Amino acid sequence: MKKMMFILTGVFSLILLIVIVMSFRYSNIEMPKYTVLKSYDRNIELRQYPNMVVAKTSLKDNSFDQSGSDGFRSIAGYIFGGNEKEQKIAMTAPVVMDMSDSATMYFVMPSQYKKNDLPNPTNKNVHIQEEVSKVLLVVRYGGFSNDERIHSHIEILKNIIQKHNLKASGGFMYMGYNAPWDIINRRNEVAIEIAL
């Protein structure tokens, strides 16, 4: 019995070590360069984002719990070679889910690519598009996300918008920065475009 416990403890420790190493391995992926225009309380910032090229797909609904995995698989397929050149494209962060009624999800493409540099997706539901520069009000939080946590952070942003007389434009979006297997240093954000 002690031998079995020793083996299980060893296996568990090895798995935990692998997960931690994988978490740090993917912590150096490219992210869009943004400028912080103003900071508010509780990890809230007003940020200016540049133009970006994205691989985008439509979702069946705006529920992270119901549609997040399907959307992620569709666009991950594109960067892992699901394109006319079977070209692998580096993973970036964040993965962005637009949570409006016409829900979408997209990956930001590495900054070295222009729209015309990228191969066409083989999945007809994935499209390469340009996102124009925008100002986002963003709240950051850790841990794992679900619809309930996302909506609680939407309420935080609604309060900031009202308190500071900001003018929101469009729907809320979720931005996830970690691979599904990351268990430490998780970064999540909820954002909305602000008209200045």
Instruction: Quick: pLDDT tens for 37-71.
Output: 999 987 999 999 999 999 999 999 888 988 888 89
pTM value surpassing 0.85 = no
- Averaged pLDDT score across all residues of the chain: 88
Other beta carbons less than 10 A from residue 168's beta carbon: 15
* Confidence tier at 182 by pLDDT (50, 70, 90): confident
* Confidence tier at 90 by pLDDT (50, 70, 90): very high
Domain boundaries, the chain: 2-195
Q: Distances from the Cα of 151 to the Cαs of 17, 63, 64, in angstroms?
A: 33, 10, 10
Cβ pair 57, 104 in contact under 8 A: yes
pLDDT at residue 19 in the model: 43
Measured CA to CA, the distance from residue 138 to residue 53 in angstroms comes to 20
- Unique residue bearing structure tokens 């705006």: 62
pLDDT at residue 68 in the model: 87
Burial profile 83-108: b = 16 or more Cβ within 10 angstroms, e = fewer: beeeeebeebbbbbbbbeeebbbbbb
Task: Please give the average per-residue pLDDT across 85-108, as a whole number.
Answer: 93
Backbone torsions φ then ψ of 148, nearest 5 degrees: -65, -45
Residues β-bridged to residue 175: 96, 189
- Cis peptide leading into 94, omega within 30 of 0? yes
Task: Please give the average per-residue pLDDT across 20-39, as a whole number.
Answer: 73
Measured CA to CA, the distance from residue 15 to residue 19 in angstroms comes to 6
Q: Was domain 2-195 assigned CATH 3.40.50.970? A: no
Which stretches of the chain are DSSP H helices? 2-25, 64-79, 147-163
Percent of the chain whose predicted confidence (pLDDT) is above 70:
86
Measured CA to CA, the distance from residue 90 to residue 39 in angstroms comes to 31
Which one has a higher pLDDT value, 23 or 102? Answer: 102
Whether 133 shows a pLDDT value over 90: the answer reads yes
Task: Please give the average per-residue pLDDT across 17-36, as a whole number.
Answer: 66
pLDDT at residue 21 in the model: 42
Backbone torsions φ then ψ of 114, nearest 5 degrees: -95, 165
Other beta carbons less than 10 A from residue 161's beta carbon: 15
Measured CA to CA, the distance from residue 191 to residue 171 in angstroms comes to 9
* Confidence tier at 8 by pLDDT (50, 70, 90): low
